[in-house]
Amino acid sequence: MLRIYVSSVIEAGADAVWQRVRDFNGLPQWHPGIADSRIENGEPPDKVGCVRNFHTRDGGRIRERLLALSDFDYSCTYAILESPMGVENYTATLKLTPVTDGGRTFAEWSAEFDCEPRREQELSDLIGGQVFQGGFDALKKHFRGAR
Residues near 122 by beta carbon (within 8 Å), at least 6 away in sequence: none
Give the predicted TM-score (pTM) of the model. 0.94
Distance CA 38, CA 25 (A): 6
Dihedral-angle region of residue 51 (phi above 0 means left; psi in -120 to 50 means alpha; beta otherwise): beta
Distance CA 66, CA 75 (A): 11
Q: What are phi and psi of 95, to 5 degrees?
A: -135, 140
Domain 2-146 carries which CATH code? Answer: 3.30.530.20
Q: What is the pLDDT of residues 50-97, one digit of tens each?
A: 999 999 999 999 999 999 999 999 999 999 999 999 999 999 999 999
Distance CA 98, CA 104 (A): 6
Q: Where are the chain's structural domains?
A: 2-146
